[in-house]
Amino acid sequence: MAEIADGFSLFEVCKDAAKCQIRRDLSEDNIIITHGNRRGIVLNVEDQKEIGDWSLKSGGHLESPVVAYGDRYAAIVLSPGTTTEAIRSWDAKALTLDKMQKHNASFEHWIIQVAATFHTLIGAINEDAFVIYKDSRISLLSSESKDAVGLEYSGEIMFCDSIEFDDKHFVVVVMLDAEKLNLILYEVQSIGIQFKSIQLPLKGKATAYCLHSSSSLGPALTVLGEKGHLVRVHLSSMDACSLSTITAPYDIDTSIVALDDSQLAVAGVNSQSGNGIGIWNCQLHCMQNVTPLPVDAPMCSPMYCHENKLLLILGGSLYAFPVTRRAATLRANLGKLKSTKAPLSATGSQEKLQKIVNQLSPEKPPTQKALTQLFKDVGGILKGISGSASEGVLLQPLIASLTNVCLESSFWPRQQIQTLINSKLIPASCSVCLMKALSDHTEVEMVLDALDSIRDIPEAALLSALACILSADDNKLPDFDGFKESVQPEEPLSDFSAKKKHIVFHIMKQPFNDIFMVESLRNMKVDHIKELFKLLSDELVCLCQHILILRPLSTAQIVDWISMMVDAQFTQLVLSQEFHPLFMVLQDVVREQMEFYNELSCLEEILQRLRDQVQLPTQKNIGSYCIQTLHIL
């Protein structure tokens, strides 16, 4: 879970801030800020000072933004007093344009002869291939051909950027053609430069774009549509998927930055304290927090993420907003943020853990004292893990061995299991036994932490988590900030407290396979099945009666769970006299809904007949039109 701290001023950019853009950095500490097409600076973010100034010779002109690739910069430069453009490339260590030298002997290949219109450099694939734009068309300029090769894509460029992932270079271009957004991707492969295209499932112009990558997603482009629709395109497979819809109000000139796979920083969010930067959670479909902007000034550039800071130019000044990333737990998503002291970085952790695992014997479980001593070293190792996906895959078998040792011990090693859960490295194969043990010991808080830290939890583990919550007393349930224990007077009374109901519904929203869930429900205690069935039935009645209470489960989700429980426990539910009154109520609810939809269908038919019989007047006389309209009504 990410948090954005208050912003502070880093650097005075210029008075004409509308022409400023933050460009990609080529080092860990420096960024590039271009001032229109004439000047640029290299800024050290940590030292908050300018370390280089770019200024062209008299008459020189930058015809496109400065782009980055490898350890070099590139831009199209118009020579003084001529109509000849050249793609110049400079070493990243140089500080001024006047001192920068051509970096390769094939510089003449990048001279572009033009007449009246000029090209725009939109991306650099490598030192031998550039993507340019002219006359509403994209062209590829490579060392294989001195002339720019035009492609069939045309239109207005809405977004362009490049990214490097796994030693591959990608140039992404989004073009608007006849209200259709086309994404064109250039990728460098061993067989040459390949390009692909896809039409984005959005209409009209998009509001903001974000090109990012992660170990789990790979390179991806996230697009924010005009009505808040979020679409993500995975560049490796070129498939587009809808994320969610931002419901919070925001400015039309907003920008977005991906903080991780599920969280987006959104600039220009409207709140009670004014505009700010908010964090939109794509999984929970909510704006988690909004940090106010330090000044009431228009945003002059898209937001940019450098290391752990969000950079934004406001009113001629560059502001930084520190971002803190914490391990999210289910309790944090429900309203209470708790630090899990997640480890950050280390090397050689696999070898160290392997030595500890080798000391454990399956035939002779360790004593409580021995296990406590071993986990002192385990805790120190886990604190130093970087958290990368590749390292996590290597460590998961070792973490699984440690988890099994803890679960097979003759005592309850609560502290040791909590350490393993906080590492977020327990594989899904251990989750069934782990959840059952946590449920048997009624470890509610550890169950919530495990649900958030383990990916692809099996259905049996989810039901063990539900059993733990159902068996727990209300005083053992964690408190949530801002949560109020209240029941609407028109809501049917339930044996569940509002707090317990809130947690149960969030667990039931976890992804599952209905076939495996039915099999797991057959092994669940009948008492727990009856409790859940009664709770879901009351919830369905409230939904069908249109009682205005915020409900975390939709009607379809409630019906799915009821159907699975009836299928799994048919004898206990359908043939039991205890639930006959409840089934009668459900039958009445279903009958009322069917009658309601039948009446809607009849109304629709009547309206359609009226439309067919009555033709609306088209007279220009407004008075006559109003009279005839009233006559129709």
pLDDT digits (tens, 9 = 90+) for 128-182: 667 776 665 666 666 655 445 555 566 777 887 778 777 777 888 888 887 788 8
Contacts of 564 (CB under 8 A, 6+ apart): 514, 517, 518, 521
The average pLDDT across 81-86 equals 62
What three-state secondary structure class fits 538?
helix
For residues 69 and 124, the answer to whether their CB atoms sit within 8 Å is: yes
Whole-number Å distance between alpha carbons of 552 and 560: 14
Is pLDDT above 80 for 349?
no
pLDDT band at 626 (very low <50, low <70, confident <90, very high): low
- Cα torsion angle, 147, 152, 158, 159, sign: negative
Q: Write out the DSSP string of 472-510.
A: S-GGGSPP-TT------TTSPP-SS-HHHHHHHHHHHTS
Is pLDDT above 80 for 301?
no
> Phi and psi dihedrals of 99, rounded to 5?
-95, -10
Question: What does the pLDDT read at residue 467?
Answer: 92
Is pLDDT above 80 for 442?
yes
> Phi and psi dihedrals of 166, rounded to 5?
55, 45
Question: What does the pLDDT read at residue 104?
Answer: 34
Question: What does the pLDDT read at residue 464?
Answer: 92
Question: What does the pLDDT read at residue 80?
Answer: 58
For residues 106 and 130, the answer to whether their CB atoms sit within 8 Å is: no
The average pLDDT across 291-318 equals 82
Contacts of 243 (CB under 8 A, 6+ apart): 222, 230, 231, 232, 282
Q: What percent of the chain has pLDDT over 70?
A: 67
The strand pairing partners of 413, in sequence order, are none
pLDDT band at 461 (very low <50, low <70, confident <90, very high): very high
The average pLDDT across 507-521 equals 89
Q: What is the DSSP letter of 5?
A: P
Question: What does the pLDDT read at residue 339?
Answer: 39
CA end-to-end span of the chain: 55
Question: What does the pLDDT read at residue 463?
Answer: 93
Lowest-confidence pick of 71-75, 280-284, 584-588, 603-607: 71-75
Lowest-confidence pick of 32-36, 267-271, 604-608: 32-36
Whole-number Å distance between alpha carbons of 420 and 425: 7
Query: Smallest Cα–Cα separation from 483: which of 279, 285, 329, 333?
Result: 333
Query: Smallest Cα–Cα separation from 61: which of 75, 71, 43, 44?
Result: 75
> Phi and psi dihedrals of 584, rounded to 5?
-65, -40
Edge-to-edge order in the sheet of strand 229-234: 208-214, 218-224, 229-234, 239-245
Burial class (CB in 10 A: 0-12, 13-18, 19+), 246: buried
Q: What is the DSSP letter of 38?
A: T
The average pLDDT across 591-604 equals 83
For residues 409 and 366, the answer to whether their CB atoms sit within 8 Å is: yes
Is pLDDT above 60 for 424?
yes
What three-state secondary structure class fits 559?
helix
**What's CA 180's distance to the chain center, in Å?**
24
Lowest-confidence pick of 388-402, 471-485, 562-576: 471-485
The average pLDDT across 480-498 equals 51
Which range of 103-112, 138-147, 194-203, 404-413 scores highest in mean pLDDT? It is: 404-413
pTM for the predicted model, two decimal places: 0.49
> How do beta strands 218-224 and 208-214 pair?
antiparallel
The average pLDDT across 562-580 equals 82
The strand pairing partners of 578, in sequence order, are none
Is pLDDT above 50 for 109?
no
Which range of 113-127, 341-355, 505-519 scores highest in mean pLDDT? It is: 505-519
The average pLDDT across 384-395 equals 60
Question: What does the pLDDT read at residue 314?
Answer: 83
The strand pairing partners of 62, in sequence order, are 77
Whole-number Å distance between alpha carbons of 509 and 334: 13
Whole-number Å distance between alpha carbons of 458 and 450: 12
Is the model more confident about 626 or about 126? 126
Whole-number Å distance between alpha carbons of 448 and 124: 47
The average pLDDT across 470-497 equals 61
Question: What does the pLDDT read at residue 103?
Answer: 34
Is pLDDT above 60 for 212?
yes
Question: What does the pLDDT read at residue 591?
Answer: 79
Question: What does the pLDDT read at residue 491?
Answer: 46
Whole-number Å distance between alpha carbons of 507 and 462: 7
For residues 267 and 4, the answer to whether their CB atoms sit within 8 Å is: no
pLDDT band at 435 (very low <50, low <70, confident <90, very high): very high
Lowest-confidence pick of 236-240, 278-282, 392-396: 392-396
Whole-number Å distance between alpha carbons of 76 and 70: 17
Lowest-confidence pick of 386-400, 511-525, 588-602: 386-400
Question: What does the pLDDT read at residue 119?
Answer: 53
Q: What percent of the chain has pLDDT over 90?
A: 4
What three-state secondary structure class fits 438?
helix
Is the model more confident about 574 or about 28? 574
- Cα torsion angle, 612, 614, 616, 617, sign: positive
Question: What does the pLDDT read at residue 437?
Answer: 92
Lowest-confidence pick of 27-36, 71-80, 92-101, 521-530: 92-101
Whole-number Å distance between alpha carbons of 37 and 84: 17
Question: What does the pLDDT read at residue 344?
Answer: 36
Which range of 45-59, 110-124, 230-244, 355-369 scores highest in mean pLDDT? It is: 230-244
pLDDT band at 20 (very low <50, low <70, confident <90, very high): low
> Phi and psi dihedrals of 310, rounded to 5?
-95, 125
Token readout for 243 is 């994320």
Query: Smallest Cα–Cα separation from 407: which of 435, 448, 379, 373?
Result: 435
Question: What does the pLDDT read at residue 338?
Answer: 38
Lowest-confidence pick of 118-132, 226-240, 517-531: 118-132
pLDDT tens-digit readout, 522-539: 999 888 988 888 888 888
pLDDT tens-digit readout, 542-557: 776 655 455 677 777 8
Domain boundaries, the chain: 344-486+497-531, 586-632
Average pLDDT, the chain: 73
Question: What does the pLDDT read at residue 85?
Answer: 67
- Cα torsion angle, 151, 152, 156, 162, sign: negative
